[in-house]
Every structure is written in C-alpha cells, then in structure tokens.
Structure 1
Amino acid sequence: MKDLDSHILREIGTLSRCIHSISDLKFKEINLQKGQFTFLTRICENQGINQIDLSNLLKVDKTTTTKAIQKLIEAGYIDKKRDDIDKRMWRLYPKEKALEVYTFIIEEENRNIEACFKNFNSEEKELVSKLVKKMRENIESDWKEIKNF
C-alpha cells in the first residue's frame, strides 16, 4: 500500500472543518444556516457580484450558490436585481440586515484567525499566508477545468 506523500491537505481540511463548525454554531444566533456566512460576506464585500462570479470566488458549484442565495433572500439578507445592461444576468446586493451582521461575522472570523495564529510571529504568519495562497493558485486551474469555469 502506498503512503501519502504529505498530510498537509488533511491538516488544512481539518482546520477548515473546525472553523466552519465553530462559525456555524456562532451564526445560528443570527439565523444563518451552515456555510451561508461565506456567501453573505463575499456579497457584502463585492456588492453587485453575479452568481457565476460568486461561485468562482468561493470555489463552489453553481447549484450550491443558487440554493444559498435563495435562502439568504428568503431570510431578508440580500436582494437580487437584474443587470442594467445584460437583462439575463442578476446582481446580488446586501440589504441593511446583511450589513448589520457583517461586522459580527468579521469579528468572529478575526477571532478564528487569532486562535489559529496563536504563538506565531509575524514572519511565520506572512509565510503561511504566502504558501497557502500559492497552493490555492496551483490547484485553481484544475478546479476550473473540472467545474468548466
């Protein structure tokens, strides 16, 4: 049986699942369901983004994005408006309710970042950021090819 070349992706996966579990519990109090906070924050940060670009940004299926957007609309967090020029395209905008909880979400994300980087010096933090970004860039072309983006 072949040994795994590196456990780095397993570690990153475990880290991601821990953060999402903590966040999902915290964000239940503002009526966000599992993983919806990622969609909400990106819409707040990229007002007017379309669903295809949002899917690409988050690296999720278009179907996943559609379901999340519908739930956020029903919960009163976002608006979906037709593009002024291309009437086939829809743009996503945060409502006041979304902008009000955005600060709470970012504060929680910052707490998670602080917890993850406990006992790291600034050089180590910078190095981890650069290396993980490089890993993401390396795999992104494979993801785009598989997802037909």
Structure 2
Amino acid sequence: MMRLINRTTRLGEMYRNEKMKQYGLKGMHHTYILNICNNPGVTQEKLAEIIYVNKSNVTRQLTNLEKAGYVTRSPDPKDGRKLLVYPTDKAREVYPKVAKILKEWNEMILDGFSIEEQELLLEHMSKIMNKAKAKVDKMDTD
C-alpha cells in the first residue's frame, strides 16, 4: 500500500512541477502557497505542523519562496524569536491557478470512479492518515 501511495505522490509531484514551472514553483511549493494564503501571519512553526514537515524544511522552502517574491517574513511583535509568514500579491494572484492545477490532477486520477467510490476512497484515506498521525504523535510523547 505505501509503495502505491508513494508512487502516486511522486507522479503527482511530476505533474505539478510541469504545470507550475511557468510560475517558478515546484515540489511542495503549492502546499506553502495554499496554506500561507489561507493563514496569513502564520508562524513558521505552525506551518510545519499544518503540512507535516520539519522546521528546517519550512525555513528552506520559505527562503526560496521569499526570493521568488511569493512570501514575506517578519518578526512576531509578541515574540521576536518567531517569524510570521505572509503571502504577497504574487502569491495571492497564483493561488487560484495552483488550486486549479490540483483540482485538475484530482479529477484526472479519479476519472472513472463514481461519486460514492470517491467519497469512500477519501474516507478510507482520511482514516489511514489519522492513524498514521496518531502513531507519530504518540512517538513524540514517549
């Protein structure tokens, strides 16, 4: 099962890379754009939690997105040790294009599935993800 999930993920990344290269985006940049636009002023730490990556990956990706003009970072006025991340106009402009690319991918890979099958697949995948998250969260407390 994990082999199939991982391969599907890599194929999705290849598709996104091709479709988003015209915007200077690749890899996981779509996740950052969507989450920062939906949560302006999010801390880097919270962003890492939301997208399930480590803080160093967030820092590296945000540096790339900042250089490309998609985000800005500023110190948190309440805690100067934290950085708040905001989308730029460029990010807000590309947001619907990124969302459309993701929607198209989902529609392509689910083509031929009935609505009921799609809902069941989503339900099962959510259960799997929640179990995985619970297991990892438990590791953090052990």
Secondary structure of 1:82's counterpart equals strand
2:42 to 31, 49, 66: 49
Structure-2 residue corresponding to 1:140: 133
Structure 1 residue 142: deviation in Å? 3.0
1:84 lines up with 2:72 in the alignment = no
1:40 to 23, 33, 38: 33
Secondary structure of 1:42's counterpart equals helix
Work out the percentage of aligned pairs sharing the same amino acid: 26
1:28 to 21, 24, 28: 21
Structure-1 residue corresponding to 2:7: 14
User: Unpaired segments of 5 or more residues in structure 1?
Assistant: 1-7
Structure 1 residue 145: deviation in Å? 5.1
- 2: CA distance between counterparts of 1:146 and 1:71? 31
AA aligned opposite 2:40:
Q
AA aligned opposite 2:95:
Y
Structure 1 residue 45: deviation in Å? 1.5
The alignment's TM-score, normalised by the length of structure 1, stands at 0.87
The alignment's TM-score, normalised by the length of structure 2, stands at 0.91
The answer to whether the Cα contact below 8 Å between 2:12 and 2:105 also exists between their aligned partners in 1 is yes
User: Unpaired segments of 5 or more residues in structure 2?
Assistant: none
- 1: CA distance between counterparts of 2:41 and 2:124? 31
The answer to whether the Cα contact below 8 Å between 1:24 and 1:35 also exists between their aligned partners in 2 is no
